[in-house]
């Protein structure tokens, strides 16, 4: 979908938006409803992150509204790319989940807001308006997200456990002894109140620590 950008770009009272959503029905519904508001104009939409980056660079919108659940692509990398290449475009992420992992990744990628797909269009429109006015609408405290109890090294060990699994392989990869790895694992399990490595990985991912 492409609208006449020039017709809205010269009106400072209108907030220009691009929508990146992989499902065409949802993409068109979002564009249609947002366009019903006098101060919002969706003038382009994308089915992929790459398309949204190109559209943002080409049209310089006020806001890029990005689906967190893009298949085979990282919406959060997309946010970072738009922030870097189009600094005047503010990014807002929309997702089907309020999991700490998604919210944390949106926060760390410097998105201006994270909204849930269950929120009403009126609520979403108000978020877009607030973001346009300069208010960052994402705060980890609001989502009751806590900092990881793990040290940086413990997080690296847990990442290696998730990727490799074997203590021998992890020790070889990290240039550490088996005993040192086991000590790290014991500390990780204690801090995460986990009974085994698999449970520790699940707990860390659910909380956005991994």
3-state helix, strand, coil in the chain (%, to 5): 50, 15, 35
List the domain boundaries for the chain. 6-132, 152-206
Of all residues in the chain, the percent with pLDDT exceeding 70 is 89
**Which pLDDT does position 4 carry in this prediction?**
43
**Which pLDDT does position 144 carry in this prediction?**
57
pLDDT of 71 over the 80 cut: no
**Which pLDDT does position 105 carry in this prediction?**
81
Is the pTM value of this prediction over 0.85?
no
Which distant-in-sequence residues (6+ apart) come within 8 Å of 106 by Cβ?
68, 76, 79, 93, 95, 114, 138
Q: Give me Rg for the CA atoms of the chain.
A: 21
The CATH superfamily assigned to 6-132 is Response regulator (3.40.50.2300)
Identical fold, 6-132 and 152-206 = no
Architecture of domain 152-206 in this structure? Orthogonal Bundle (1.10)
- 40-53 mean pLDDT: 91
pLDDT of 30 over the 60 cut: yes
Most confidently predicted of 37-41, 70-74, 103-107, 171-175: 37-41
**Which pLDDT does position 3 carry in this prediction?**
45
Is the model more confident about 142 or about 79? 79
C-alpha–C-alpha distance, residues 82 and 19, integer Å: 13
If pLDDT is split at 50, 70 and 90, which confidence band does 98 have?
low
Q: Tell me the per-residue pLDDT of 160-202, one tens digit each, with 9 for 90 and over.
A: 998 887 888 888 888 889 999 999 999 999 999 999 999 999 8
**Which pLDDT does position 6 carry in this prediction?**
44
Determine if residue 72 is left, alpha or beta; phi over 0 gives left, psi from -120 to 50 gives alpha, anything else beta. left
């Amino acid at each position: 979908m492409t609208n006449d950008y020039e017709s809205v770009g010269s009106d400072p009272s209108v907030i220009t938006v691009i929508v990146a959503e992989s499902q065409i029905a949802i993409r068109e519904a979002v564009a249609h409803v947002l366009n019903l508001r006098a101060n919002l104009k969706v003038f382009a939409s994308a089915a992929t992150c790459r398309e949204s980056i190109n559209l943002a660079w080409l049209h310089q919108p006020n806001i890029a509204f990005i689906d967190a659940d893009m298949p085979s692509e990282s919406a959060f990398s997309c946010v970072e790319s738009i922030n870097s290449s189009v600094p005047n475009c503010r990014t807002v992420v929309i997702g089907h989940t309020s999991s700490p992992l998604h919210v944390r990744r949106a926060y760390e990628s410097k998105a201006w807001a994270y909204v849930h797909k269950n929120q009403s269009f009126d609520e979403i429109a108000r978020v877009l308006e607030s973001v346009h006015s300069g208010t960052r609408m994402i705060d980890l405290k609001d989502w009751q997200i806590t900092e990881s109890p793990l040290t940086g090294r413990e997080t690296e060990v847990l990442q290696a456990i998730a990727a490799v699994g074997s203590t021998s392989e992890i020790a070889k990869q990290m240039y550490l002894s088996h005993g040192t790895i086991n000590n790290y694992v014991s500390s990780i399990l204690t801090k995460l109140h986990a009974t085994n490595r698999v449970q520790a990985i699940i707990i860390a991912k659910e909380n956005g620590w991994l």
